[in-house]
Amino acid sequence: MSETPVKPETEEIDLLELAKKIWAKRRFIIKYALIGAVAGLVIGFSLPKEYTSSVKMAPEEGKSNKTSNMAGPAALAGFDLSGAGGVDGINLMLYPDVVQSTPFIVELSQIPVQPKKSGKLSLYDYIGTELSSPWWGYIISAPAKVIGWVMSIGQEKEAVGSGINPKALTHEQAQVLESLSKRINISVDKKTSVITASSTMQDPVVAAAVTDSMVRKLEEYMGDYRTEKAKRDLAFTQESYQSARESYHETQRRYASYMDATQNVARQSVRAEQERLRNEQTLAYGVYSQLAQQLEMAKLKVQEQTPCVTIIEPAGVPTRKSNTSKAVILIAFTFLGAFAASGIVVVKDLFFKKENPDEGTGIGDNPSLS
């Protein structure tokens, strides 16, 4: 009696045979590809149009004299000291954090915009009421809205966007501001220090307006940060200058009055008082003159430390949408459907084979039992 040969546990995959099986199931694959194409068309036409407006700018990065003097030799040695601690003011790499900060977002949300399909309103109201979402977005958010509506029963209505407190945001305000923060972006090129600021909106005019306002407010923020100490010094110097000026005028008036009253008096005590008043006037004038010079220097220092931003490419109204085109979505989903169907065919062939060689034979098929 011959022994049944043992079937090996591992088998090599025959790619040619697998390709034949995939070809044999081509109708099945085409059906899934058509399903994917239909899904791609539905998704492509459901996505709202998005427009992106961007600005490229090159800000002036202040450096201390020590860093500037060492920058040349360090560059020859292959080192880059542009990001060293000698930078005067805020580092360029912190610009994205500034733009994404809550105070900046709140201030930006209050700028006026005028979409094509509606009248003039604030950016906060535009984000909260004018933006549209695909149909599945409403389905996904419906349970959360129902839960929020149930929980809000009996509670006071939240404040509207006109009175936003960055330190105490309501739930609605936090959602609107989070949506706004996702639609603005700023990036810094480490090699060239060029800053690219952009905003993506469903209205091209609004996108350009938001980008332009974002750049101007960023300049204001950086200017306030860079000149904060210089402005405090200027305010202190100006206050001291006003006090010294009044003191000098007062000593000058007293000296002139005393000289007029004692013009024909030749006593020694009078001369001594005249000398004392003259010295007080001279001293007051010296302080007043020195503070006047310091005041002018403080004004020049504020102007010197005010950052200058060069706009390389200004914000313009985009004419082409920035989100993925319908053709790309259609091709991607068609390929995805075909790939999924091919995967199903391959998985069934590799892991769900009928390994029983006697399958299909029953008791009635055995000739010895007939």
Q: Tell me what pLDDT residue 251 has.
A: 92
Confidence of residue 353 (pLDDT cuts 50, 70, 90): low
pLDDT at 342 over 80: yes
Q: Tell me what pLDDT residue 47 has.
A: 86
Q: Is pLDDT larger for residue 283 or for residue 67?
A: 283
Question: Token pair 């009253």 is at which residue?
Answer: 261
- Give the model confidence (pLDDT) of 111-134 as tens digits: 999 888 778 899 999 998 888 877
d(C-alpha 29, C-alpha 46), whole Å = 26
**DSSP-based three-state secondary structure for 91:** coil
Q: Please provide the DSSP assignment of 280-348 as one string.
A: HHHHHHHHHHHHHHHHHHHHHHHHHHS--EEEEE------S--SPPHHHHHHHHHHHHHHHHHHHHHHH
- Give the model confidence (pLDDT) of 211-243 as tens digits: 999 999 988 888 888 888 888 999 999 999 999
Sketch the domain layout of the chain as residue ranges. Answer: 23-47+323-338
Q: Is pLDDT larger for residue 302 or for residue 147?
A: 302
The residue among 120, 111, 103, 119 whose CA lies nearest residue 199 is 111
- Give the model confidence (pLDDT) of 196-216 as tens digits: 999 999 999 999 999 999 999
d(C-alpha 90, C-alpha 68), whole Å = 17
pLDDT at 335 over 90: yes
The residue among 286, 295, 284, 293 whose CA lies nearest residue 235 is 295
CB 176 within 8 A of CB 124: yes
Indicate the average pLDDT of the chain. Answer: 79
Q: Tell me what pLDDT residue 34 has.
A: 92
d(C-alpha 313, C-alpha 194), whole Å = 11
State the pairing for strand pair 121-122/195-201: unpaired
Q: Is pLDDT larger for residue 142 or for residue 183?
A: 183
d(C-alpha 163, C-alpha 110), whole Å = 10
pLDDT at 87 over 80: no
